[in-house]
Amino acid sequence: MNLIIDVGNSAVKSAVFQDAKLLRSYVFSFEKFSEKFQQIKKEHPKITFSMLSSVIKDTSEIEKMLKKETELFVLGENTKLPFKNKYASPQTLGKDRLALVAAGAKEYKNKNLLIIDAGTCITFDFKNDKDEYLGGAISPGLHMRLKALHNFTAKLPLVELEENVALIGNSTQESILSGVLNGVLAELDGIIDRYRADYKYLTIILTGGDTQILSKRVKNGIFANPNFLLKGLNYILEFNKTQ
């Protein structure tokens, strides 16, 4: 049984897998890790292996806890990957993006695949039908755009994201929501169209924290999979067990 941990910019996402089957997922704050880890171990006492991925620098305390009770794998530059990485600067490539491509290599082998991760940032990652990772793009996420409009202007308020957003905003708050959400939707549809023009038989996965609000509004056909990153980390763990 595997425990997967992804320490992100705003939260810790975790999941327990039995081989490739996801049994349960969790989301909690970094400060609550010790408490949550003990809870997860109590619920799943047969956890033997763990995989840690983090975008923050210091995870030494987390690593100590995991090493004490599991056989720990930490995703890093020297971790073996189940795909060909053709990124020009692999040392600067985010671990979350590596995990997403690993999931794509497992579930969409020998297919052209565009993975869109809508979280703090929106990342676009492309794997071709030779299972080569070529790269992609990084763009500000929905909440980052809302905060930027507030932080870099004198009078615009900080607006919370809402589900129902009109095209034409008739107040400052509604205008901000329309600009941010409809702008991101136009960006997604436009980039998907450009990839489809260059690559036939393209599969598109949408994942990340803002999957729900975006998936029902994107015009292009996509597959929504909120746990794609956790599945990728589990696949990397399973792959490295045999190396």
**Binding-site residues for K(+):** 117
Cβ–Cβ under 8 Å, residues 83 and 102 = yes
Binding-site members for ATP are: 6-13, 120
CA 70 – CA 216 distance, rounded (Å): 39
The catalytically annotated residue of 96, 131, 189, 193 is: 96
Tokens of 238: 């399973």
Using DSSP, state whether 64 is helix, strand or coil: helix
Using DSSP, state whether 105 is helix, strand or coil: helix
Binding-site members for substrate are: 87, 94-97, 172
Nearest Cα neighbor of 232 from 11, 9, 13 is 13
H-assigned helices in 83-210: 95-107, 142-151, 172-198
Binding-site members are: 6-13, 87, 94-97, 117, 120, 172
CA 96 – CA 42 distance, rounded (Å): 27
96 annotated active-site: yes
Positions marked catalytic: 96
